[in-house]
Structure 1
Amino acid sequence: MKVTLRLLLIILLLHSCKGEDSKATVVEEIIPSPEEVLRDYVIKPKNDDGLCREDISRAKEDLKKYGQIYVTTYCFGCESLPYEEEVIEYATYKGFKVISYGFSCVTINGQTQGCYKAFIDLKMEEINGKYFRQKIQIEAEKLMINKLKNSNRSLSIYDLSDNDKPKLVHETNLTKQGYIPTIKTMLPLKFDRDKYPFVDISFIIEKDGKISNLKSENWVDGYKENNKYKKELESMAKKEILNYYNEWIPGKYKNTIARVENNFRVSFQ
């Protein structure tokens, strides 16, 4: 009984707190990106953040030397644009000194990484506007698309969305994963269930759906006894791909048909 009365009292109190015109208010919090936070931070980094301060000093020296700088970045696991080479080409054409800046994704003991690029970008935004990097990237992408149309420029299959990737006319679940069926040779190869020879063959899918430029990229013998058959097996793998996997629906990038680099892993028994 006491519990019931207590519940009724709580309900009455909650009801009395609601006005007839009261409405739920949704507050949207705009969270700044890590890049924006870092650009704010480099204006006044912590005194004990030696790594960041060294990066800023180097950035200032480079700005005195070059004036206009576009920083490209690389790190393990970082995504890259399919038109990275055109970014460098276009930025150079626009008078920027392109500097490659490597960093890891780990900050240790209060030492901040990425300050070199953040400081450079901050100064370049003051001169060229906040979206100067985006503008360069837009023009670089246009340049790449023009090359796809009019030259031998190719893209990696990993640069394309699933819908835009080239597809075998007779595709299977195995080929979707980058494999073809194991080739059964007449050679006295040594292998078992978990240890066998294989080779990765790269190739280009041309705009007409045919393949070209077959290359052996990675050979694993399984057992050292198989090494003496390496050239023969690589030749078998290339012939197998040319004979049975040479009809593709070509890939495209933003509705532009493109030459696309792909690969198959071929195993042997």
Structure 2
Amino acid sequence: MISSIYFAFNYFITVKYRIIKSSKNEVFNVAYEASKHRCKEAKIDDLFDLCENTIVTLNVPQEAELITVEMVSSIRNLLQTRRNYKKMMVNLASKQPAFKRLQTLIGVGEESAAMILGEVYDIALSKKAENFASYCGLTPRNKKSGSSVDTHGKISKMGSPILRHAIYLASEYARRHNPYLANLFARVKNGNKKRHKLAIVAVANKMARYIYAILKHDSDFVLLYEDLMKLPEDTRTTFFQSITTDIPEKTRRCIYKYSDENGVVHDFTFTGNDLEE
């Protein structure tokens, strides 16, 4: 929202002194439309206070204003082009059966599913899930020094950086909502803030293996009852409190799957609560 408001102000009210000279109602209308009706009047009050307490050059050359408008216009066009390409990418990927299956994996949305399919040409080229994780560059890089014992350093970063980026971003969501990965993240991090990145990499590695299984076996990702029962009770309880199986016919929320004690698979969505506090 902030970026859209920023571009709106730079495009229509190019410099700070023009904001001050404008009425709050005029500025609010610009921000309200740019933020898709999410901007509040209190934000405009804060904006005016900020501008009034900032040193402003009152005599701004017209050339400077024109340059500002042209630069912002170019950025807006580039962002729109980027959005158009993303839509094209998703549209092409949606024609593949695996597109919907990948989205049953918690953390993978339309764009990340499209990025994954765009980078994975043939899953059969990877004999094992470990090989696929290596292709993603999400395996530890072994370090050897003379006669010392091998140690695990940073990730290898081999293979596709686009694929690695897509999985890494998906992992940030997954470690807060997928109970398996929330438990893995907490176990690796062990309460140490310095181990956050290490824990995320562990989650991303596991995500790569899940993706491999989905593509290899052409199947959905299902949270199995027997695996859920192996998790700590508090993690399991928090998970079931954060989901609902009462899904509207039309919903924009991602729909996932879990099996009960009888092996029956149920669809569910998240209510918005994270497993990690």
TM-score (norm 1): 0.30
Q: Which has the higher contact order (CA 8 A, sep 6+)?
A: 1
The TM-score with structure 2 as length reference comes to 0.29
Question: Whose Rg is larger?
Answer: 1
